[in-house]
Amino acid sequence: MTEAKPGTAPQPIFRKDYRRPDYTIERVDLRFELGENFTTVHASLAVRRMHDTPAGAPLVLDGENLVLKRVAIDGRELPADHYIVGPTSLTIADPGAAFTLTTVVEIRPQDNLELSGLYRSSGNFCTQCEAEGFRRITYFLDRPDVMARYSVVVEADRARYPVLLANGNRVETGELDGGRHFARWDDPFPKPCYLFALVAGDLRCHDGEFVTRSDRTVRLEIWVEPDNIDRCAHALRSLQAAMRWDEDTFGREYDLDIYMIVAVSDFNMGAMENKGLNIFNAKYVLARPDTATDDDYDGIESVIAHEYFHNWTGNRVTCRDWFQLTLKEGLTVFRDRLFSADMGSPAVARIGDVLGLRTNQFAEDSGPMAHPIRPESYIEMNNFYTTTVYEKGAEVIGMMRTLLGAAGFRRGMDLYFERHDGQAVTCDDFRAALADANGVDLEQFGRWYSQVGTPVVRARGDYDAAARAYTLTLEQAPPRGRDGAELLHIPVAVGLLGPDGPLALKLSEETAASGDTRVLELRERSQSFRFADVPAAPVASLLRGFSAPVELAVERSDADLARLMAADPDEFSRWDAGQELARRVLLRLAGDVEAGRELALDREFVAACARILGDERLDGSLKALALTLPNERLLGQQQQVVAVDALHAARQFAVQALARALREPLLAVYRATAPTGPYRIERAEVDRRKLRNLALGYLVALGEPDQVRLAVEQFELSDNMTDSEAALAFLIDHGGPERDSALARFHARWHKDPLVLDKWFALQAVSTHPDTLDRVLALADHPDFNLLNPNRARSLLGAFGLRNQHQFHREDGRGHALVADKVLALDPHNPQVAARLVAAFNPWRRFDAARQQSMRAQLERIAAQPGLSKSVREIVDRALA
Ligand code: 0A1
Ligand code: ZN
């Protein structure tokens, strides 16, 4: 048996090297003796050699940071020469064909700052096992294709840990000597160990129930720290809505008698779908009107739904290996998006998704961490819980649904569950189920699983007046810098706008015109589609609803965009046309800044914005989205070399110029949208608040005392976090005494409330104010700052490094140095979060020479750090390669 020698570079694992395990584990009996200094874990595993494994093959179990106390087979202690304990494994020579392996190990949850395995949060015990955390709890075959039935006994001090939870059903509880007690939990469903969970602590429960369509009553329990018990109602409602929706939409019913959610304050990610016992970052559970914003409420609804939907897409049917992660994540994100769209406004939801994809995923896909949605290799799996696997993965599922139609997609999903319930499978199995259920060929489509980068679709339209025909030519080009990529199967949803509005479409091979959208299937390098009976030269509305995760390249005049912005029946495309126009305007302004020309905001653009503000057909949320200028990161992606300062100056100028031009209508909107009663989380109210805060943002940007006063008043008088956070953000950007006093008041009121205090840090970190860097430096030394709490670290440093392009990429390099310092400080304790943070340096080659040099120097400094974790090492090495 070989172990990596200390100091050897960590080796990548390749998808092509997948092999079935030599042994499998069918039953797992665990006993946890939870203690203040250490925890003892007793494990009895029913192990079986696979039929094609040669007799005598060693059993190699994974294990990390475990102190082995005992090892026995079928009740007999194993002689020392029958096993080898390595730093990450326990190898047992020739264990037999079927046997019970017993181990006893000691672990130290108190010292576990990585928050992977069994750890402590706010004095309670909790676990996080995905991707490879179970091996930090006991020796095991820690891979998702080993599925077992679990029975778990949790023992602890009764006074400190009155609540003892694990997966499945509670089958026994009782008292033990010395003030201790226990609970036994049995999970009837076989599961991979990454879905194991345990919680012990002093928690309160907000409960409810759900009656399934086959009339079973499921008990729902949301467990939180005692102070938070009044913040659980929204999470429970969201869970009930998700359960109903999955029955109605996909025919999927919940399968246990109890569903538990536990909110914890220290968590590396958003939440975890452990079977029957989800563990959540408190941020995605707790909400009260005065502590959570409308966006927080939406985030909770979607994450609660996401984890619930995993019960079928992830748990009942799981992944064969971690390369298949998008099988469960892309699909589950897709399902939670469909759900959110159904719960609120589909257009608003879609715009949010696409904005996120373009800002974050497109950037990842064109940088050093670019990978296919099904990666070919990894060094640290935790680094591959990415926006590509999740969000682009969801787009790929969405394209299949577009190609198959809603009913065809449902047929495919049904077949997938029918074939694979209880199995660990691959992305190819999923695609095969969709194809077989519909009798279609998705072979070419499968390339989306292996391609890297954002493909480009070019479009050209020719109108033949004499023939009254419009020919649309679509051409696919490989992602930039990736020539030779294979041709993809790309659904392009298209509409045509005539002078009087949308046209009923008739492709030349069709017999009659119908509908105003067609999904064109682009499979060749170049294809032409001819529309008949087109009365006049139309404007094409392309990629409606963002039907494929591609970059669209098409020559369109500003006037064409303005027409789409005004008249496209697809609300997403109207927004998209507006953003394209805004992008052009801002990039031209940035050019003017660089050339030292006088700045003036395009009049047509101002007029288009004024029309949106006054458009009766648009709800407040859509108006706010349409009137929010593209962010600086998005603009930078359009440039050869990101012009950090010019983009910032251009955008700031445009905001102020728009505010000046639209001052009166903005003021009118602000007045007309004043609240008429206490906070309510309802669609119309959310729309109203969105529009009102958009107007306030522009008005405060004018910097005039009257407008600043509006923000101060709103901050002081509002009864809800949505309005007070928005006002505070604008005051922070404005600066001056108003900022200082609002920040002080906010801190005084909320400093004992971690989730709210996170906002206080984050708002300061993303500020456009020129003194932001110095303030962030000071905040990193603030007594309330805690680098080891992931939410707090992200709220200050993640927000600064990943969202504040202008300040992080200061030319003097101080922003870079700050983030690099914190990466180095955090890495020895929590490499997962440190790796997320160091990704801020990934786009370094996109900047000018001075900034490149500054970032490269920081990357090299990090790379030179002795003992760097493999998580950070992988990111930094790829960035420098
Ligand atoms: N499966 C979870 C995400 C998750 C992944 C890894 C974690 O720890 C390293 C935690 C959560 C989800 O998709 O919600
Ligand atoms: Zn997930």
Q: Output the residue whose Cα is nearest ligand 1's atom 13.
A: 329
Structure tokens given for 463: 């109108």
Looking at residue 9, its pLDDT comes to 82
Q: Output the residue whose Cα is nearest ligand 1's atom 7.
A: 130
Q: How far is the CA of 683 from the centre of ligand 1 (A)?
A: 30
Q: Residue 189: enclosing H or E segment and its boundaries?
A: strand 180-192
- Give the mean pLDDT of the chain: 97
Helix axes 603-614, 558-567, angle to 10 degrees: 0
540-580 confidence digits (pLDDT tens):
999 999 999 999 999 999 999 999 999 999 999 999 999 99
Pocket test for ligand 1, best of 261, 267, 269, 306 (most atoms within 8 A of CB): 269
Structure tokens given for 838: 């160091």
Instruction: Specify burial of residue 801 (Cβ count, 10 A radius: 0-12, 13-18, 19+).
Output: buried
Looking at residue 202, its pLDDT comes to 98
Looking at residue 7, its pLDDT comes to 56
The number of the ligand 1 atom at minimal distance from the alpha carbon of 303 is: 14
CA angle, 732 then 736 then 738, to 5°: 70
Compute the average pLDDT of residues 798-824.
98
The number of the ligand 1 atom at minimal distance from the alpha carbon of 332 is: 13
Q: What burial letters (b/e) apply to 358-380, b meaning 16+ CB within 10 Å? A: bbbbbbbbbbbbbbbbbbeebbb
Q: How far is the CA of 270 from the centre of ligand 2 (A)?
A: 9
pLDDT higher than 50, residue 582 = yes
Structure tokens given for 628: 């929010």
Inter-residue contact 805 to 633 (CB < 8 Å): yes
Q: How far is the CA of 759 from the centre of ligand 2 (A)?
A: 24
Looking at residue 481, its pLDDT comes to 84
Structure tokens given for 213: 């369509």
Looking at residue 561, its pLDDT comes to 96
Pocket test for ligand 1, best of 126, 264, 272 (most atoms within 8 A of CB): 272
The number of the ligand 1 atom at minimal distance from the alpha carbon of 333 is: 13
Inter-residue contact 549 to 395 (CB < 8 Å): yes
174-224 confidence digits (pLDDT tens):
999 999 999 999 999 999 999 999 999 999 999 999 999 999 999 999 999
| Residue 6 pLDDT class (50, 70, 90 cuts) | low
- Dist CA 157 CA 180 (whole Å): 4
Q: Output the residue whose Cα is nearest ligand 1's atom 11.
A: 272
pLDDT higher than 60, residue 378 = yes
Helix axes 721-734, 736-750, angle to 10 degrees: 140
Q: Output the residue whose Cα is nearest ligand 1's atom 10.
A: 269
pLDDT higher than 80, residue 1 = no
Inter-residue contact 402 to 493 (CB < 8 Å): yes
- CA 555 to chain CA centroid, nearest Å: 33
The number of the ligand 1 atom at minimal distance from the alpha carbon of 306 is: 14
User: Measuring CA to CA, how many Å separate 371 from each of 305, 354, 452, 838?
Assistant: 27, 19, 5, 17
pTM (2 d.p.): 0.98
- Dist CA 423 CA 321 (whole Å): 12
Q: Residue 44: enclosing H or E segment and its boundaries?
A: strand 39-49
Looking at residue 211, its pLDDT comes to 99
Q: Sort strands 271-272 and 147-157 into parallel, antiparallel or unpaired.
A: unpaired
**Residue 439, Ramachandran bin (φ over 0: left; ψ between -120 and 50: alpha; else beta):** left
Q: Sort strands 39-49 and 23-33 into parallel, antiparallel or unpaired.
A: antiparallel
827-878 confidence digits (pLDDT tens):
999 999 999 999 999 999 999 999 999 999 999 999 999 999 999 999 999 9
**Residue 168, Ramachandran bin (φ over 0: left; ψ between -120 and 50: alpha; else beta):** left
- Dist CA 48 CA 116 (whole Å): 28
Q: How far is the CA of 833 from the centre of ligand 1 (A)?
A: 13
Q: How far is the CA of 281 from the centre of ligand 1 (A)?
A: 10
Q: How far is the CA of 547 from the centre of ligand 1 (A)?
A: 27
Pocket test for ligand 1, best of 262, 277, 385, 832 (most atoms within 8 A of CB): 385
Q: How far is the CA of 268 from the centre of ligand 1 (A)?
A: 8
Looking at residue 869, its pLDDT comes to 98
Is residue 725 flagged as an active site residue? no
pLDDT higher than 70, residue 603 = yes
| Residue 611 pLDDT class (50, 70, 90 cuts) | very high
**Residue 286, Ramachandran bin (φ over 0: left; ψ between -120 and 50: alpha; else beta):** beta
Q: Which of 603, 559, 604, 591 is nearest to 577 (CA)?
A: 559
Q: What is the DSSP string of 764-817?
A: HHT--STTHHHHHHHHTTSTT--TTSHHHHIIIIIIIIII-HHHHT-TTSHHHH
Q: How far is the CA of 733 from the centre of ligand 1 (A)?
A: 34
pLDDT higher than 50, residue 416 = yes
Set 221, 307, 395, 685: catalytic member: 307
CA angle, 743 then 744 then 746, to 5°: 65
pLDDT higher than 80, residue 149 = yes
Query: Quick one: which ligand is closest to 328's CA?
Result: 2
Compute the average pLDDT of residues 141-145.
98
658-698 confidence digits (pLDDT tens):
999 999 999 999 999 999 999 999 999 999 999 999 999 99
Compute the average pLDDT of residues 496-508.
96
Pocket test for ligand 1, best of 114, 116, 130 (most atoms within 8 A of CB): 130
The overall longest dimension of the chain from CA atoms, in Å, is 94
Three-state DSSP class for residue 275:
coil
Query: Quick one: which ligand is closest to 310's CA?
Result: 2
pLDDT higher than 60, residue 717 = yes
Compute the average pLDDT of residues 404-420.
99
Instruction: Specify burial of residue 26 (Cβ count, 10 A radius: 0-12, 13-18, 19+).
Output: middle
Specify the amino acid at residue 40: T
Structure tokens given for 392: 């682009």
11-32 confidence digits (pLDDT tens):
999 999 999 999 999 999 999 9
Q: Which of 362, 282, 271, 345 is nearest to 310 (CA)?
A: 271
The number of the ligand 1 atom at minimal distance from the alpha carbon of 314 is: 1
439-480 confidence digits (pLDDT tens):
999 999 999 999 999 999 999 999 999 999 999 999 999 998
- Dist CA 543 CA 680 (whole Å): 36
- Dist CA 762 CA 728 (whole Å): 11
Three-state DSSP class for residue 99:
strand
Residues framing ligand 1 (Cβ under 6 A): 128, 130-131, 268-273, 306-307, 329, 382, 385
Q: Output the residue whose Cα is nearest ligand 1's atom 5.
A: 130
The number of the ligand 1 atom at minimal distance from the alpha carbon of 329 is: 13
- CA 193 to chain CA centroid, nearest Å: 23
Structure tokens given for 778: 């000071």
> Omega before 595 cis (within 30°)?
no
729-754 confidence digits (pLDDT tens):
999 999 999 999 999 999 999 999 99
Q: Output the residue whose Cα is nearest ligand 1's atom 8.
A: 130
Q: How far is the CA of 428 from the centre of ligand 1 (A)?
A: 22
Query: Quick one: which ligand is closest to 119's CA?
Result: 1
215-258 confidence digits (pLDDT tens):
999 999 999 999 999 999 999 999 999 999 999 999 999 999 99
Q: How far is the CA of 307 from the centre of ligand 1 (A)?
A: 9
Looking at residue 3, its pLDDT comes to 42
Query: Quick one: which ligand is closest to 269's CA?
Result: 1
Three-state DSSP class for residue 837:
helix
Looking at residue 484, its pLDDT comes to 84
The number of the ligand 1 atom at minimal distance from the alpha carbon of 832 is: 9
The number of the ligand 1 atom at minimal distance from the alpha carbon of 385 is: 5
Query: Quick one: which ligand is closest to 128's CA?
Result: 1
Inter-residue contact 444 to 487 (CB < 8 Å): yes
| Residue 413 pLDDT class (50, 70, 90 cuts) | very high
Q: Output the residue whose Cα is nearest ligand 1's atom 12.
A: 272
Q: Output the residue whose Cα is nearest ligand 1's atom 4.
A: 272
Query: Quick one: which ligand is closest to 380's CA?
Result: 1
Q: Tell me the H-state helices in 133-183.
A: none
Q: How far is the CA of 128 from the centre of ligand 1 (A)?
A: 8
Hey, which residues does 491 pair with through a beta bridge? 521
